[in-house]
Structure 1
Amino acid sequence: MARQTETDRPDPAVLLQLAAREGRGKLTVFLGAAPGVGKTYAMLERARGLKTSGMDVVIGLVETHGRSETAKLAEGIEVLPRQGGDTPYGEFDLDAALARRSALLIVDELAHSNAPGSRHPKRYQDIAELVGAGIDVWTALNIQHLESLSDLVARIAGIPVRETVPDIVLKRADEVILVDLPPAELIARLNAGKVYLPDNAKRALDGFFKPATLTALRELALRRAADRVDDQMVDFLRQSAVEGPWATGERLLVCVGPDTMSESVVRVASRLASGLNARWLVVSLTRPGTPLPAPADAEQLEETLRLAERLGAETRRESASDFVDAILRIARREHITQIVIGRPATRSWLRRSLPDALLRGAGEIGIHIVPGEGSAPSRRARKWPSLPEWALTLGLPLLSVGATTLFGLGLTALVALQNLSMLYLAAVLLSAVIAGRGSALIAAGLSFLAYNFFFIEPTGELTVAQPQEVLSLVIFIAVALAAGQLAARLRESAKVSRQQARQSQALLDFSRKLSAAHGQESVVDAIASHLNASLGRPAIVLVPDESGDLLPTAAWPPDQALGAAELTAARWAFDKKEPAGFLTGTLPQIHYLFRPIISAQRLLGVAGLVMGPRDIPLAPDEERTWIALLDQSAIALDRARLTRESARASVARESEKVQSALLSSLSHDLRTPLASIIGAVTSLRQLGDKMPPESRADLLLSIEEEAGRLNRFVANLFDMTRIEAGMMKARREPIELAAIIDTSTARARKLHPDLLIETSIAPGLPRALGDAVLLEQVLFNLFDNARKYGGASLPVTIYARAEDGEASIAVTDQGKGIPEAELEKIFDKFYRRAKGDGRPAGTGLGLSIARGLMASMGGSIKASSPAIRKRGTRFTLRLPLAEPGKAS
C-alpha cells in the first residue's frame, strides 16, 4: 500500500472545522446590495418549493414592509407568533422557535437589534443559538450592515449605519446567496411603490436610492459574494487534499495601539483583507518595563481589538523593546505579505520614524500607511518662504563667490595649484542657472575681483605683477560673462518651456472637462471653474437667455455679485464684441475685465476676470492662456447650443409626425363613414318611396353601421386623450373572467357576424383584480384587430388560465404575423400595418388604448409572433389574481 505523503493528506484544520459543524444547523444568508432587491421574496419563494416537496418549513419572522407580493408568498407557511402577541411590530420569539424545532426556520432581518429585556441584544445572536441547537436557518442581510463596511457606506451614502453585523457571522455562514438587481430596475421598483410607501419612497430617492450610491453598494455586495465563493473553493480543495496555489496566500499584519486612529486602521485593513481575500493578524506592541497605560487608553485598545475580532481578524499582544524588529520578526514568522500601520496626527518622533524604518527593513513585504485626520506634512514637503527677487540676484553671487574663495584658500593651503579660475566659473554658472542673467554678471565681477585679490601675485592687492596675468584675467572675465549669458538664456528657455507645458496641460484638461460636460449649464460651470484654476483669479461667465438678456450664469468662487457698472461693461463687451472693463476704453475703473466668447458662427456669451486693485494688466502668458481658453469655451458652448437646437428640432419633428398622422387618420377615418352616411341619406331623400323596402333597409343598415364606426373612432380618440392626461381611473376589484370573455365575444360577433371565435377557459378559473368594463373594451379591440389582420375566414382563439400567481388571457389570430422588430411599435399611437391590399387598416389607436387600459388596471399586455405554425400573432394579457392561494 502506497504511503500517504504530506501533500496527499487533507488539511487537518479544515477537518476539525467539519467535525465542529457536526450536530449544528446550517445557516444560509441571502445577501443584497440594498433594500428592495428581493432578498425576502427569493427566500420565501425557495421556501415554498421546499414546503411543496414535504420539508417542515416554519417562518419565525418575516418583514414584508407592506409589499403585497412578498406577503402572498408567506401564505400557506406556518408562522410562529411574535413576543407580546401577533402584532406587526412584535419581536421574534426565540424560545418558541427552539420548542417548535422545525427542519428549516426563516428569520428575516439579520442585523436587527432586539428590544431591551431580550435574551440577546442582536438578532444574529438569536440565530447563532438556533444554529447551535441543530436548526437550519435562512436569513437576509443588506451589505451596508456589515461592520467592516459601515463607515465606508456612511461616506458613500451620507447616511450613518446604525445596525451592524460582525463580519465573522457572514464568514461562518454555510451558504451565502446573492440576490442582485441593477440600480435602474431597483429605482423603477421604488417609483412603482414596490419597495416603500409613496412618502417613504420619495425620501429614499432623495437620500439613499441614488444611482451612484446603489452602484457602489452593488459592487461591494458582488465582491463580498465572490470572496465567499472563493473561500468555499479553497475549503473544498483542502478537504480533498488537492495541491495548488491558494487564493488565500495573502496575509496582512496590522499594528495598533491605544490611540483613536487605530480603529480607522483596523477598518481600512478589513476592507483591504476582504478585497484580497486575505487572512489578517492584528498586533498590539508594548515595551517591557513601561508603566501601565491610562484607563482610557487601555479601554480604547480593548475596543480596537474587539472590533478587529468582530471583523474576522486574529488578535495578538506582544512585548518587545524594538518595535521595528518585533514587527518584522512576526511578519516573517507568520508569512505576512503586507503590513498595515497608521500615521497619527501627533508629532511623535518615534511614530514618524516607524514607517521609514519598516520600509528599509521590510524587503519584499508591502507597507500600507493609513493617514490620520490632520496628519502633519513631512519636513521635506514644508515650503520655506520665498526670497525677494533682488535678494536672490544679489545674495546668491555673494554666497557662491565667497564659498568658492574659502574653498580655494583651503585647497591652496594643502596643494599648490596654478590656476583656480575654473572654480569661479562654477560660481558664475550656478548664479546664472538659479537667479538669471543679472546675477551671473554680478558673480562674474565678484569672481574677477576675488580671484585677483586672493590668488594673483601680489595677493592682498588688486594690482597685477605679471603681464600674462592681466591677459588671464581678461580671458577669465570674458569666459565668465559668456558662460553666464548662455546659462541664463538656457534658464529662461527652460522657464518658457515649463510655462508652455503648463498651458498645454491646462488646455488639455479643459478640453477633457468640456468634452465630458453635457448641456449648457455644465459647460458654463466648467468654464468658470477652469478659468479660476488656470489664471488664479475669480471668474464669472454670462450667457444670454431665450429673450437675449445677458445674465450671470456661473461663477467661481460662487459668491460673486455684479453691480450696475460691471453689468454695463459685460453688455458692452457682448454687444460690441470687444473687451470692456479694467484698463480698457470702456469703464476702465471697475475691477472686472470682460471678453466676449465668440465662435465661428455667433456670439455666445461673455467671460469676466477679477483683476487686482493695482493698474497691472494681464501678463503675456496669462493673456495667451485666457484667449486659448475662451476659444475652447466658444466651441463647447456652440456644441451645447447645437445639441439643444437639435433636441428641439427632433421634438418638433416628432410632434409634426404625430400631427400629420392624426390629420391623416382623421381625414380618412372620418370622411369614409361620413361619405357613406351622406350617400345613403341622399339616396333615401331623392328616391324615397320609389326604392324597394329591401334597398331602403340596406341603406338604413349602412347608415347605422357607419355611424357606429364613426362613434367608435371618436370614442377611441377620447379614450386615448384620457389615458395620456392620466384621467383614466380604473377600478381594481374581483372580476369573473369567464363572464367578461363571453360578453366581449358576443359583442364582437354582433358587430362582425363573419368572425369565428373559439374560446377555452380553464375550469375553476379564479377571479382576477381589474375593471370589467375596461377589460371588455381591451378584448373587443383585440378581436377587432384580429379581424383586420387575420381575416374572417380563419378562427380567432382565446383561452384563459391562472399561472405564476396571475390570470393569463391569450388572444391568437392566424394572419401573416408581425416581424419581431415591430412587436413593440404596434402599441404606438397611430401606428398601422398594411393589410394584404397594401392599405393601412384601422386608426392605429386600438392596441395603444389596450396597453393604456391594462396599465391602469395594474396588468400588462404583450405581443408575440409567430404563434401557430409559423404564422399568426398572440396577445397575452396578465392581471393579478384576487385570491392567489386558489391558483392552479
Structure 2
Amino acid sequence: MARHETDLERRPDPDALLALVGQEGKGRLRVFLGAAPGVGKTYAMLSRARAAKASGCDVVIGLVETHGRSETEALVEGLEVLPRRSIDYRGRTLEEFDIDAALARKPQTILVDELAHTNAPDSRHPKRWLDVNELLSAGVDVWTTLNIQHLESLADVVTRITGVAVRETVPDRLLADAHDVILVDITPDELLERLSQGKVYVTDMAARARQNFFIPRNLIALRELALRRTAERVDDEMVDLLRQSAIEGPWATSERLLVLVGPGSSGERLVRTAARLASGLNASWIALYIERAIGESQSAEDVKNVDQTLRLAEMLGAEVERRISEDMVGEALKIARQGNITQILVGRSRANFPARLWRPSLASELVRRSANIPVLVEIAEEIEPPRPQRKKIDGASLRFGVAAAVLLVAVTVGAGVLLERWLPPLNFVTIFLLPVLICAARFGLWPAIVAALLSFLAEDYFFIDPRYTFTISEPYEFITLIVSLVVAVVTGMLASRLRDHSSAMRQRAEAAQSLFEFSRKVAGASELDEVLWSAATHAQKTLGIKSVAFLIPEERELAIRAAWPPIDRLDPGESVAARWALDKNEVAGWRTGTLPNVRFQFRPLATSRGVVAVAGVEPKLTDEPFDAQQERMLTAILEQAAIAIDRSLLVKESVRTAALEESERLRTTLLASLSHDLRTPLAAITGAVTSLRQLGDKMAEADRADLLISIEEEAGRLARFVGNLLEMSRIESGALHPRKDLVDVAEVVRATIARCKKVFPNWRPTTSLSPDLPPIRGDANLLGQVLFNLLDNAHKYGAEGNVIVHARRDGGTLVLTVTDEGPGIKPTDLTRVFEKFYRGGRPDGRKAGTGLGLSICKGLVEAMGGTIEAQSPAIKKRGTRMILRFPCERQAAAAPQK
C-alpha cells in the first residue's frame, strides 16, 4: 500500500506533460540572444547553420542582415538563400522577408535574422516575430537573433538605463516558449574594441553610437539583463524537466498576480512591471480594467490608451478582463478573491491633498480594504492617470442651460414677490431650491450650479433686508445664505448625478432591449441566410459602424453569405485576413497583429464544434478603436449569431442525417427485396431448366409443359420486378414525362383485363363501366400499367374473392375504382401502402411482392394530373377500394350541357 502511494506521489506533473504534448507538430525555435548589437549573434547562427548543413540538415536562409561585415558574408556562401520580397513604400524599394516563399519551400530549418524587426506596410504581419510564429505553426524549425533590449517587459527598463526609447519589441512568451536559447556574450571592452574597428557599424555611425548607446555603463547593465534572463530561462527548463520526470522537490505554491490598469499613458509601464514580477515569481497574472458605471465618460484618447495597454498585457501573457462597477475597489477585491489572487499591483496616485480628501486614491483604498491580500504600489512619476472626465456637453447646450437657469431664477423671484404680498413670511431657501433642481434634472450639473449662485444672489438682493442691495445686516442672515448656497449646490450635484444614473440606465436598457430583440429574431430564424442577414443588419444599425459582413466556409473557401450594406467581394488582403481568422481562430485585420492595414477586422465565430463563421466589421473611424460599449455590444451580437448559426447548421445536418438514414433504410429494404424477389424466381427458372436438360427425354409431355409454363411465369415475374424498379427510378429522378393524349378509359380497362387473363388464366375480374365515360388527358400506356398493378395487388391480397373494376363520371371528374373482397387494410396503414417497399400481408400470412407497386401507381397517377387514395373496408366491412380521380377533358365535360 505504501509503495502504491509513493508511486502515485511521484507520477509526472500533468500540466508539464500537457505542455510537452502541445509542442508536438510544431517547429522548434532557437534564439541567439545578445546584450547589444555587434556581439556576434548572426555570426554564431550562421556558423552553426553551416555545421548543420554539413551533417545533412536541410538549412535555408530566409533573411540574414550582414551589415557589410565581410566575416559574416563569407559564412552565407554555400547556403541556400530565399529571394526577398520587394515592396514600394514612399518612393523607396524595401526588401522584406518573403513568408510565402518560405512556406512553399518548407525546409527543415530556416534562418530569420532580427526577430524584433517591424515589417513594411501591407505585409501580412506587422512584426517579423509573427512571421516566425506562422512558420513554427507550419512545422518549420526557425533560428533567429534577438537583443535583450527588445523584450517587451524590459523595454521601459532599457529606456531608463540608456535613455534611448525601444520601439521594436517582442513578447516575452516567445522567448519562454523557445526550444533553445543560446546566449552570445562578449565583454563590454571587447564589444567597444569591435566597434572601434568598424566591425559593428561604419565609421560615422560607430562614432555616434559610442557617444550615445555604446558606453560602458549601458553595456554592463544590458549584459546583466541578458545573463539574468538566460539564468531564469535555464531555471525554468530545469523545473520543467524535474516535473516531467516526477522527481520530487519542494515546489513553491503557485502565485497569481492582479494588476489594475487605467486609461492613462502610464498604464503600459505598470503592465511591464507586472510582467517582470510575474516572470520572476513564475506566476500567472490578470490585467484588470474597471470602468466606472455611472456619471463618467472617456475620451477617444482614453479608450485608445486602454486598448493599447490591455493588448500589451495580453501579448505579455496576461489574462485580460474588463469590468463595469461604481465601486472599483470592491470589484477588484471580488475578482481577487474569486481568482485566488495572492498579490495585487496598482499605481500610486499623484493627486493633491484636497483631491485625496474628496476622493481617496485607489491605492490607499485597496490597502485599507484588502484584508489578507498583499497590495504592491508601484512608485513612479506618473503611474495612476487622471480621473476620467465627466461628460462634456457642447457649447450650445451649455448656453441654453445657463439661459434656462437665469429665466427660472427670474420666474422664482417674481413668484416670491407675489407670494410675499398674500401669504405669511416664506422660507425662500426652499423656494430657490426649485430652479436648481429643475436645471440639474433637465440640463445637467453646470446649469444647476449657475442656478444655485443666481438664487443665492437673488435671495440676498430681493428678500433680505436691506433690500435691493447686496448688503447683509445680520450675521445669522449671512450664515443662512451660505447654508442655502451649499444646500443648493449639493442638491444640484445629487440631482445631476441622478440624471446621469437615469441616462446610463436608459442606455443599458436600450442595449438590453436591442439584444433581446436580436436574440428573439434569430431564435425564430431556421434558415442560415435568414440568421446571417438578421445579424448583419442589426449589428450595423445598432453599433453605428460602417459595414458588417458574414463569411461561411464552403468547400474550402470563404463565401460572403450576408453583408450590410451589401458588398460583392473582398480584396486579396482582406481574403487572407478572413482565412487567417478562420484557420487560426484569431482576430485578424484592422488594429490586430495580422494584416492591420485592411479595412475590415475579422472575428471568428467559434462554438463547441469549432469556428462556424467569420464576421468582418468595418469601422467608421479607422484611427480610433471601438469604445467599451461598442465592444460589449459587438461581442454579445456575434456570440448570439454564432449560437444561431451553429443551430442552423445542426438543423441542416439533422435533416441530412435523417435523409441518409431514410436512404439507408430504403437501401436495406431494397437489398432484402432483391435477395428474395430475384433469387426465388431465378431458383425456380434454374431448377426447371436443369430438369428439362437432364430429364427432358424421360419426362411426360404434360410435365415438360408445366415446367415451361413455370419458366414463363417466373420470367414474367422478374420482368415486372425490374420494370417496377426502372419506373420508380424514372419517377424519383424526374425523367418521367407522360404524354397528354385523349385517352378512352373504357378501352384501357378492357385491354388491361385482357392482359390479366393471360397472366392469371383462372382469374376473372368484373367490370362495371358507365356508358357516358368522357375521355381524359393522359398516357394510355401509363394508365394501363397503373390499372394492371392495382389488379395484381387485388389478386394477391383479395383472398380469391371477386374483384370489381368500376368507372363513372362525377361532375368534371372521372372516377376509376378497383375493389376486392379481401381482409382489407388497417386504418393506420391506409396512407403507408403508398410508401416505397411497404408490403402488406397475404391472406396466408406471407409477405408478397416488392412493395413498389402502389408507390409506382401513385407516382404515375400524379404525373398525369390525377389522385389516388385507398379506402377500407369497402364491401360488407371487408375488402379494399383503390380510388383514382382524373379531370375530364374540358370540351368533353362541357358537351352534355349544350
Tell me the TM-score normalized by structure 1: 0.51
Alpha-carbon contact 1:676-1:703 (below 8 Å) kept: yes
1:542 equivalent in alignment to 2:547: no
Query: For residues 675 and 508 of structure 1, do their structure 2 counterparts lie closer, same or farther at Cα, with a shift above 3 Å needed?
Result: same
Unaligned segments of structure 1, at least 5 residues: 1-384
Question: What do residues 242-285 of structure 1 show as CA deviations (whole Å, max 9, x unaligned)?
Answer: xxxxxxxxxxxxxxxxxxxxxxxxxxxxxxxxxxxxxxxxxxxx
**1:406 & 1:575 partners in 2: Cα distance?**
74
**2:817 & 2:424 partners in 1: Cα distance?**
113
Query: For residues 621 and 576 of structure 1, do their structure 2 counterparts lie closer, same or farther at Cα, with a shift above 3 Å needed?
Result: same
Query: For residues 421 and 713 of structure 1, do their structure 2 counterparts lie closer, same or farther at Cα, with a shift above 3 Å needed?
Result: same
Structure 1 match to 2:755: 747
Deviates further, 412-421 or 851-860: 412-421
Cα-Cα RMSD = 3.6
Shift of 1:491: 0.9
Structure 2 match to 1:836: 843
**1:613 & 1:746 partners in 2: Cα distance?**
85
DSSP-derived class of the 1:422 partner: helix
Structure 2 match to 1:519: 527
Query: For residues 585 and 421 of structure 1, do their structure 2 counterparts lie closer, same or farther at Cα, with a shift above 3 Å needed?
Result: farther
Structure 1 match to 2:876: 869
Alpha-carbon contact 2:536-2:550 (below 8 Å) kept: no
Query: For residues 542 and 408 of structure 1, do their structure 2 counterparts lie closer, same or farther at Cα, with a shift above 3 Å needed?
Result: same
Query: For residues 850 and 610 of structure 1, do their structure 2 counterparts lie closer, same or farther at Cα, with a shift above 3 Å needed?
Result: closer
**2:541 & 2:770 partners in 1: Cα distance?**
73
Give the AA of the match of 2:856: I
Query: For residues 559 and 458 of structure 1, do their structure 2 counterparts lie closer, same or farther at Cα, with a shift above 3 Å needed?
Result: farther
**1:422 & 1:619 partners in 2: Cα distance?**
42
**1:591 & 1:732 partners in 2: Cα distance?**
60
Shift of 1:502: 1.3
Give the AA of the match of 1:645: E
Structure 2 match to 1:180: none
1:677 equivalent in alignment to 2:688: no
Alpha-carbon contact 2:871-2:880 (below 8 Å) kept: yes
Question: What do residues 193-222 of structure 1 show as CA deviations (whole Å, max 9, x unaligned)?
Answer: xxxxxxxxxxxxxxxxxxxxxxxxxxxxxx
Shift of 1:529: 1.5
Shift of 1:451: 4.4
Query: For residues 825 and 422 of structure 1, do their structure 2 counterparts lie closer, same or farther at Cα, with a shift above 3 Å needed?
Result: same
Shift of 1:872: 0.6
**1:725 & 1:536 partners in 2: Cα distance?**
50
Alpha-carbon contact 2:553-2:613 (below 8 Å) kept: no
Structure 2 match to 1:626: 634
Alpha-carbon contact 2:553-2:612 (below 8 Å) kept: no
DSSP-derived class of the 2:682 partner: helix
Structure 2 match to 1:706: 714
Paired residue for 2:784, among 767, 776, 780?
Answer: 776
Paired residue for 1:635, among 635, 639, 643?
Answer: 643
Structure 1 match to 2:766: 758
Paired residue for 1:820, among 816, 827, 835?
Answer: 827
Structure 2 match to 1:431: 439
- The 5-angstrom pairing of residues 167-178 of structure 1 reads none
Shift of 1:769: 5.2
Give the AA of the match of 2:509: A
**1:416 & 1:858 partners in 2: Cα distance?**
98
Shift of 1:521: 0.8
Query: For residues 753 and 482 of structure 1, do their structure 2 counterparts lie closer, same or farther at Cα, with a shift above 3 Å needed?
Result: same
Query: For residues 509 and 746 of structure 1, do their structure 2 counterparts lie closer, same or farther at Cα, with a shift above 3 Å needed?
Result: same
Shift of 1:561: 6.3
Alpha-carbon contact 1:540-1:552 (below 8 Å) kept: no
1:799 equivalent in alignment to 2:802: no
Alpha-carbon contact 1:583-1:615 (below 8 Å) kept: no
Question: What do residues 730-789 of structure 1 show as CA deviations (whole Å, max 9, x unaligned)?
Answer: 445455555543432232222223323223344565666554443333332222111111
1:668 equivalent in alignment to 2:676: yes
Shift of 1:533: 2.8
Query: For residues 618 and 409 of structure 1, do their structure 2 counterparts lie closer, same or farther at Cα, with a shift above 3 Å needed?
Result: farther
Alpha-carbon contact 2:602-2:616 (below 8 Å) kept: yes
Shift of 1:672: 1.0
**1:832 & 1:410 partners in 2: Cα distance?**
102
Alpha-carbon contact 2:549-2:564 (below 8 Å) kept: no
Give the AA of the match of 2:796: K
**1:733 & 1:602 partners in 2: Cα distance?**
58
**1:412 & 1:860 partners in 2: Cα distance?**
96
Alpha-carbon contact 2:540-2:564 (below 8 Å) kept: yes
Structure 1 match to 2:666: 658
Shift of 1:674: 0.9
Tell me the TM-score normalized by structure 2: 0.50
Structure 1 match to 2:334: none
Give the AA of the match of 2:858: R
Deviates further, 551-560 or 809-818: 551-560
Alpha-carbon contact 1:757-1:796 (below 8 Å) kept: yes
Paired residue for 1:845, among 846, 852, 862?
Answer: 852
**1:878 & 1:403 partners in 2: Cα distance?**
89
DSSP-derived class of the 2:755 partner: helix
- The 5-angstrom pairing of residues 174-193 of structure 1 reads none
- Aligned-pair identity in percent equals 45
- The 5-angstrom pairing of residues 560-575 of structure 1 reads 562-575=570-583
DSSP-derived class of the 1:840 partner: coil
Question: What do residues 691-744 of structure 1 show as CA deviations (whole Å, max 9, x unaligned)?
Answer: 444444433332222122112211222233334444445445455555543432
Shift of 1:814: 0.5
Deviates further, 808-817 or 876-885: 876-885
1:483 equivalent in alignment to 2:505: no
Give the AA of the match of 2:846: R
Shift of 1:806: 4.8
Give the AA of the match of 1:815: G
Paired residue for 2:653, among 645, 649, 666?
Answer: 645
- The 5-angstrom pairing of residues 342-381 of structure 1 reads none
Query: For residues 402 and 801 of structure 1, do their structure 2 counterparts lie closer, same or farther at Cα, with a shift above 3 Å needed?
Result: closer
DSSP-derived class of the 1:618 partner: coil
Alpha-carbon contact 1:803-1:887 (below 8 Å) kept: no
Query: For residues 553 and 462 of structure 1, do their structure 2 counterparts lie closer, same or farther at Cα, with a shift above 3 Å needed?
Result: farther
**1:411 & 1:614 partners in 2: Cα distance?**
60
Query: For residues 767 and 404 of structure 1, do their structure 2 counterparts lie closer, same or farther at Cα, with a shift above 3 Å needed?
Result: closer
Alpha-carbon contact 1:440-1:481 (below 8 Å) kept: yes
Alpha-carbon contact 2:772-2:809 (below 8 Å) kept: no
**1:760 & 1:453 partners in 2: Cα distance?**
118
Shift of 1:487: 0.8
Query: For residues 802 and 595 of structure 1, do their structure 2 counterparts lie closer, same or farther at Cα, with a shift above 3 Å needed?
Result: closer
Structure 2 match to 1:144: none
Shift of 1:844: 1.8
Structure 2 match to 1:611: 619
Deviates further, 729-738 or 813-822: 729-738
Structure 2 match to 1:721: 729
Query: For residues 394 and 854 of structure 1, do their structure 2 counterparts lie closer, same or farther at Cα, with a shift above 3 Å needed?
Result: closer
DSSP-derived class of the 1:545 partner: strand
Unaligned segments of structure 2, at least 5 residues: 1-392
Query: For residues 553 and 856 of structure 1, do their structure 2 counterparts lie closer, same or farther at Cα, with a shift above 3 Å needed?
Result: closer
Query: For residues 632 and 740 of structure 1, do their structure 2 counterparts lie closer, same or farther at Cα, with a shift above 3 Å needed?
Result: closer
Give the AA of the match of 2:840: R
Structure 2 match to 1:493: 501
**1:556 & 1:673 partners in 2: Cα distance?**
65
1:470 equivalent in alignment to 2:478: yes
Give the AA of the match of 2:710: S
**1:770 & 1:412 partners in 2: Cα distance?**
104
Shift of 1:560: 7.9
DSSP-derived class of the 2:840 partner: coil
**2:473 & 2:591 partners in 1: Cα distance?**
61
Structure 2 match to 1:533: 541
